[in-house]
């Protein structure tokens, strides 16, 4: 998975792993839509024998992904959760994992409803509190799983601080870097052992593909995960790999627009009487702001959450009133999305003791013209504005 390490991020996003096709000169990596590859003699082939094991389009994607995290290797999967499951194959029954008390709903579902059945132990902790994490470490703790910024409260986890705790405990630190993307944040450089991405989000960037990736430097971990990628088989199709490759090329341009538009929307929501609280790591009042400034190198991203002053009814009305912001799950695409986490992305938290507030709204601010986004949020705010006191 070699690439030119002297090249900058923007250049790697376009070229790493994507030299012109050696047989035809095609500038863009072809979609190698084939399940199998011819062998000259038994076992003698050009590096590919069966597409579950490896496929040239996927291979190009893996090199490109590794380059963006300044890493030695990357493995691509059919979804972010398929990648998550693969990482958890590093654990054995009786092992213990620490994860965030506001982990991605699907991550929580996988650990609590599936992996727990196979004897994996876990503790959910507020990972912004490093003392609480130290206190949760057990002799059998083998992994700390953290997202930052978190979903949906945009809490900031101190990656370097967490890496130190993990090292002391003899555990691996895995950072779900989906919300930040490698353009904003490079967890491996801060001491994390592995990075997980749902490439469905910012890396794909166009809401037209589901995919995942695991990225790291340790060659033994690579061998284990590569074995399981093939053994369990949750690999991305050649076309899906191609879509993510295509998305990566514009990642830096898109992220700069997401940053800019989100900052404007945050400004609009702050101090509006219809809004109770805004959650955005770029706000100086955000408790994680100082850590975010240290570890997020190119801005604070496009995700914004807030609560409505009018409670659940206002939140429901708000998400059903916006027109440019489409009511939908997911995030990280060019288009703006809005959702109600309590009933949508985080519905699986119901009854867990880790439910999200029912007046919480999450925005994935897209890259449309900012004036259209502002007008849309303004009309929705007006629709849920608290009644004015009559004089
Ligand atoms: C979407 C998401 C996932 C899961 O990814 P899929 O591609 O939907 O399987 C994991 N972590 C975070 C933070 C996500 O947003």
CATH code, domain carrying 336 = 3.90.1150.10
Give the end of a domain, one of 232, 248, 264: 248
Residue 127 inside a domain? The answer is yes
Spatial CA neighbour of 121 closest among 147, 150, 85, 97: 97
Whether residue 320 sits in one domain with residue 355? yes
Interacting residues of 177 by C-beta distance below 8 A, sequence separation 6+: 69, 148, 185, 187, 195, 196, 197
**pLDDT at 362 (0 to 100):** 97
Whether residue 355 sits in one domain with residue 212? no
Q: How confident is the model at residue 389 (pLDDT cuts 50, 70, 90)?
A: low
Asked if residue 301 has pLDDT above 70, the reply is yes
Is the CB of residue 81 below 6 angstroms from any atom belonging to ligand 1?
Answer: yes
Asked if residue 170 has pLDDT above 80, the reply is yes
The chain-wide mean pLDDT, for the chain, equals 96
In the numeric block, the tokens 């340790």 are attached to 218
User: Looking at the annotation, which residues are catalytic?
Assistant: 52, 104, 176, 201
Asked if residue 388 has pLDDT above 90, the reply is no
Whether residue 305 sits in one domain with residue 194? no
Angle (CA) 35-38-40 rounded to 5° is 160
Spatial CA neighbour of 295 closest among 103, 147, 148: 148
Interacting residues of 118 by C-beta distance below 8 A, sequence separation 6+: 93
CA atoms of 97 and 192, how far apart (whole Å): 15
C-alpha dist (Å) from residue 193 to 200, 278, 325: 22, 32, 36
Is the CB of residue 255 below 6 angstroms from any atom belonging to ligand 1?
Answer: no
> For ligand 1, what atom is nearest to the CA of residue 200?
7
The total number of structural domains in the chain stands at 2
Whether residue 269 sits in one domain with residue 232? no
C-alpha dist (Å) from residue 25 to 18, 21, 33, 240, 343: 11, 5, 18, 22, 50
Long-range contacts of 34-38 (CB under 8 A, 24+ apart): 34/238
Whether residue 289 sits in one domain with residue 220? no
Say if CB 202 and CB 251 are below 8 A apart: yes
Pocket-testing residue among 77, 88, 178, 196, ligand 1, by greatest number of atoms within 8 A of Cβ: 178
Average pLDDT over residues 183-199: 98
What is the share, in percent, of the chain residues with pLDDT greater than 90? Answer: 92
Average pLDDT over residues 386-391: 69
What is the share, in percent, of the chain residues with pLDDT greater than 70? Answer: 99
Interval between CA 81 and ligand 1 midpoint (Å)? 6
Whether residue 306 sits in one domain with residue 161? no
Residue 229 inside a domain? The answer is yes
**pLDDT at 386 (0 to 100):** 84
> For ligand 1, what atom is nearest to the CA of residue 178?
13
Average pLDDT over residues 104-133: 95
**pLDDT at 104 (0 to 100):** 87
The protein residue with its alpha carbon nearest to ligand 1, atom 8, reads: 80
**pLDDT at 387 (0 to 100):** 79
> For ligand 1, what atom is nearest to the CA of residue 147?
13
Whether residue 223 sits in one domain with residue 262? no
Average pLDDT over residues 56-83: 98
**pLDDT at 4 (0 to 100):** 97
271 by Cβ neighbours in 10 Å (0-12 / 13-18 / 19+) ranks as exposed
**pLDDT at 346 (0 to 100):** 84
The protein residue with its alpha carbon nearest to ligand 1, atom 7, reads: 80
CA atoms of 206 and 218, how far apart (whole Å): 31
Interval between CA 388 and ligand 1 midpoint (Å)? 41
Whether residue 360 sits in one domain with residue 275? yes
pLDDT tens digits, 219-270: 999 999 999 999 999 999 999 999 999 999 999 999 999 999 999 999 999 9
CA atoms of 145 and 222, how far apart (whole Å): 18
- Give the residue numbers spanning the domain of 167: 9-248
pLDDT tens digits, 343-367: 998 887 778 777 889 999 999 999 9
Length of the chain in residues, anyone? 391
pLDDT tens digits, 363-380: 999 999 999 999 999 999
Is the CB of residue 346 below 6 angstroms from any atom belonging to ligand 1?
Answer: no
**pLDDT at 358 (0 to 100):** 95
> For ligand 1, what atom is nearest to the CA of residue 332?
15
3-state DSSP of the chain: CCCCCCCCHHHHHHHCCCCCCCCCCCCCCCCCCCCECCCCECCECCCCCECCCCCHHHHHHHHHHHHHCCCCEEEEECCHHHHHHHHHCCCCCCCEEEEECCCCHHHHHHHHHHHHHHCCEEEEECCCCHHHHHHHCCCCEEEEEEECCCCCCCCCCCHHHHHHHHHHHCCEEEEECCCCCCCCCCHHHHCCCEEEEECCCCCCCCCCCCCEEEEECCHHHHHHHHHHHHHHCCCCCHHHHHHHHHHHCCHHHHHHHHHHHHHHHHHHHCCCCCEEEEECCCCCCCCCHHHHHHHCCCCCCCEEEEEECCHHHHHHHHHCCCCCCEECCCCCCCCCEEECCCCCCCHHHCCCCCCCCCCEEEEECCCCCHHHHHHHHHHHHHHCCCCCCCC
Give the end of a domain, one of 180, 215, 248: 248
The protein residue with its alpha carbon nearest to ligand 1, atom 4, reads: 80
Residue 15 inside a domain? The answer is yes
Backbone torsions φ then ψ of 47, nearest 5 degrees: 100, -5
Whether residue 58 sits in one domain with residue 106? yes
Interval between CA 38 and ligand 1 midpoint (Å)? 36
**pLDDT at 391 (0 to 100):** 57
Residue 154 inside a domain? The answer is yes
Say if CB 235 and CB 229 are below 8 A apart: yes
Whether residue 241 sits in one domain with residue 280? no
Residue 293 inside a domain? The answer is yes
Indicate the pTM of the whole model: 0.96
Pocket-testing residue among 82, 103, 106, ligand 1, by greatest number of atoms within 8 A of Cβ: 106
Angle (CA) 29-210-236 rounded to 5° is 50
Is the CB of residue 198 below 6 angstroms from any atom belonging to ligand 1?
Answer: yes
pLDDT tens digits, 8-43: 999 999 999 999 998 999 999 999 999 999 999 999
Is the CB of residue 240 below 6 angstroms from any atom belonging to ligand 1?
Answer: no
Is the CB of residue 29 below 6 angstroms from any atom belonging to ligand 1?
Answer: no
Give the end of a domain, one of 248, 276, 291: 248
């Amino acid at each position: 998975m070699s690439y030119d390490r002297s090249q900058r991020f923007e250049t790697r996003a376009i070229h790493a792993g994507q030299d012109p096709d050696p047989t035809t000169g095609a500038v863009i990596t072809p979609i190698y839509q084939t399940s199998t590859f011819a062998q000259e003699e038994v076992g003698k082939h050009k590096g590919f024998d069966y597409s579950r094991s490896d496929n040239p389009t996927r291979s190009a994607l893996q090199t490109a992904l590794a380059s963006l995290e300044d890493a030695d290797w990357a493995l691509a999967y059919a979804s972010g959760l398929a990648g998550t499951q693969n990482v958890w194959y590093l654990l054995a029954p009786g092992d213990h994992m620490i994860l965030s008390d506001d982990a991605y709903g699907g991550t929580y579902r996988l650990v609590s409803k599936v992996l727990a059945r196979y004897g994996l132990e876990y503790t959910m902790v507020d990972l912004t509190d490093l003392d609480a994490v130290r206190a949760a470490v057990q002799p059998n703790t083998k992994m700390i799983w953290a997202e930052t910024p978190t979903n949906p409260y945009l809490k900031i986890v101190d990656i370097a601080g967490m890496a130190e705790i993990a090292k002391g405990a003899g555990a691996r630190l895995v950072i779900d870097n989906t919300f930040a993307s490698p353009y904003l944040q490079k967890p491996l450089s801060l001491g994390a052992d592995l990075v997980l991405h749902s490439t469905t989000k910012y890396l794909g960037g166009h809401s037209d593909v589901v995919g995942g990736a695991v990225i790291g430097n340790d060659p033994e971990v690579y061998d284990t995960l590569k074995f399981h990628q093939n053994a369990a088989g949750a690999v991305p199709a050649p076309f899906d790999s191609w879509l993510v490759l295509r998305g990566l090329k514009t990642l830096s341009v898109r992220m700069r627009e997401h940053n800019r538009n989100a900052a404007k929307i945050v400004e609009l929501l702050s101090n509006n009487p219809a809004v109770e609280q805004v959650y955005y790591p770029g706000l100086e009042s955000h408790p994680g702001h100082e850590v975010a400034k240290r570890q997020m190198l190119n801005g604070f991203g496009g995700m914004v959450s807030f609560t409505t002053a009018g409670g659940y009814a206002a939140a429901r009305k708000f998400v059903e009133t916006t027109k440019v912001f489409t009511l939908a799950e997911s995030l990280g695409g060019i288009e703006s999305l809005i959702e109600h986490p309590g009933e949508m992305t985080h519905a699986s938290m119901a009854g867990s003791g880790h439910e999200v507030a029912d007046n919480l709204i999450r925005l994935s601010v897209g890259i449309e013209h900012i004036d259209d986004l502002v007008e849309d949020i303004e009309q929705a705010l007006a629709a849920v504005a608290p009644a004015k006191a009559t004089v």
